[in-house]
Amino acid sequence: MINRITNIIGYRGHGVLNEHGTYIEGSYHNDLGSSLGSSISNLKAVIEEGLGDFQILSLRGTKGAIFIGNGKDRTYFIHTSQETNYGLIREILNRVIS
């Protein structure tokens, strides 16, 4: 799934967190294209297809989007924000996995 995400234009970063919210894999600083291209629907489709029984949350704004797949012991996320704000992404993730 991560390999498919990294091939989509607009993708900026991804990550995987364990059940405690600890960041275990990913990249916050991939710069692979326009942050608000036509790829937003493609990003969501890849996440939904790859996660199965995960709860999907999508947040979109004028400067990007974040998609979060929250499961029992893993949380996956991808974002398209041009300016990666680690603090903001972390705050959103903490609220979702709490």
- DSSP assignment string, 61-77: ETTEEEEEEE-SSEEEE
Which pLDDT value is given to residue 18?
76
Its pTM stands at: 0.58
12 burial class (0-12, 13-18, 19+ CB within 10 angstroms)? buried
Which pLDDT value is given to residue 76?
79
Q: One digit per residue, pLDDT tens: the chain, 98 residues?
A: 556 655 555 556 667 777 777 777 776 544 433 333 344 566 566 666 766 666 777 777 777 777 787 777 777 777 776 665 667 777 777 777 66
Quote the strand ranges of 2-97, DSSP E. Answer: 13-18, 23-27, 55-61, 64-70, 74-79
Query: What CATH architecture applies to the domain 2-97?
Result: 3-Layer(aba) Sandwich (3.40)
Any idea where the domains of the chain sit in the sequence?
2-97
Which pLDDT value is given to residue 36?
34
